[in-house]
Structure 1
């Protein structure tokens, strides 16, 4: 069984840093340190640690001077409104300006936020009492007018049919 505190061989770490998880697993298996499942779990954990270090150092090294850093949970209302209008690129731009995120992080955040939004029909809002997918009902006045027209037509037909006999 693999030792969690035991350092990984240098060639395995090099393969991981290149982004080649498959090669790293092969090299670790070849060294006899772990079986396939253990090697995969161990290297995936190490890859997460490497990626976390890279993203932490990238955010610390390059703060955005043009846009102030805001709270991580803050979401600009203008970006939500842009998403409602179907302007995904504008929402990404607004989020980047608001939070200082990178392009990929902002795109991922906007796509995740779009999945949580309630779709609305133009002119209607969720407050109108409609369930998602429910179509607004037509007015009952239209149906009454149709019924009256059918009855009136039947009465006129009956009157003229009786009158001609």
Structure 2
């Protein structure tokens, strides 16, 4: 007989909270304490480098939130189309629209999380983020030249239900103007 071992972490989790999804389903999830989010200050530089290297560019949590919201509102899309400039995260070919989901820190958003300056090697990070912003502008202009409508959703906006609803409304307006004109 197998017995599942249950590990209880004393300070890592607080009690489960109820969350509602867009389609009405209920689901319990565990939420982390705020103090457990200060992981980067406690690890060595080599380990931090490994952690930062593992940050993915596809299927990130903000991107998944945007995709879930779009799908729940009836939009169908393709992912990471490499034939378009900049490999957009979400491509709505029917509307000739693309959605780019950007991380606030990595792409230099003007929000509290995006304005955080790196404490280690600040000139490297400033140059890297500036290069990311220039590359983003170049990608957007290349897509606009090809006739694509570009929507940018920031990481902080992906957490906000109202912002995602505004994105869907803008896409609906785009679809309506495409059918009328």
> Please, what TM-score do these two structures have when normalized by structure 1?
0.21
Question: Per residue, is there more strand in 1 or in 2?
Answer: 2
TM-score, normalised relative to structure 2: 0.20
Of structures 1 and 2, the larger Rg is shown by: 1
1 or 2 for the larger relative contact order (CA 8 Å, sep ≥6)? 2
User: Counting helix residues as a fraction of each chain, which structure ranks higher?
Assistant: 1
